[in-house]
Amino acid sequence: MGEIASIAEHISTTERTAADAEIDAAQLKKLEFFQRQLDQRNPQIFRASIVDVRNYGLMVELPDALITGLIHVSSLTDDFYLFEPARRQLIGRRSRKRFSVGDEVSVFVARIDAFKRQVDFAIAPASEARRKPRPRERTLQHGSSRALNL
């Protein structure tokens, strides 16, 4: 039984190595694609969802490309954004614009770091008008007999 267990362990290790290599190859191909986008004078605009908000920027995921990247707070040049840790939001000091987890934004490739295998994005200029509206909280006013439609 010892020899069979050794062979099975070797096969499992080889399969894991092959799966890791496949994932790495797919990631490199995505980085090559985004590098070509960066090299173009008129880069493609991508739909992205905000998956995390940090004090240094927005983590976004491109669902069509299955890749995650960063929109650094320094690239948000329309306002000075403050991080609200309790709500995990970036809020514009002047405009009061909010970026929250779940918001959809349009982005383009801003920078590629092939060594670290990271993609940085920037918000496309026209995307602000297309951001997903945040649902308003409904409350009953004192003395109101209207029911909420939830």
- Measured CA to CA, the distance from residue 77 to residue 79 in angstroms comes to 6
Per-range mean pLDDT, top range of 32-36, 81-85, 114-118: 81-85
Strands 81-84 and 89-92: antiparallel
Task: Domain 2-130: give its CATH architecture.
Answer: Beta Barrel (2.40)
* Beta carbons of 88 and 99 less than 8 angstroms apart: no
Mean pLDDT of 107-134: 74
pLDDT in the model for residue 126: 66
Nearest C-alpha neighbor of 130 from the set 101, 104, 109, 97: 104
Domain residue extents for the chain: 2-130
Are 79 and 93 in contact, with CB atoms under 8 Å apart?
yes
**Six-digit token pair at 143?**
């003395």
Condensed to tens digits (0 to 9), the pLDDT of residues 33-77 reads 888 878 887 778 999 999 999 999 999 999 988 889 999 999 998
Q: Residue 150: its pLDDT value, please?
A: 42
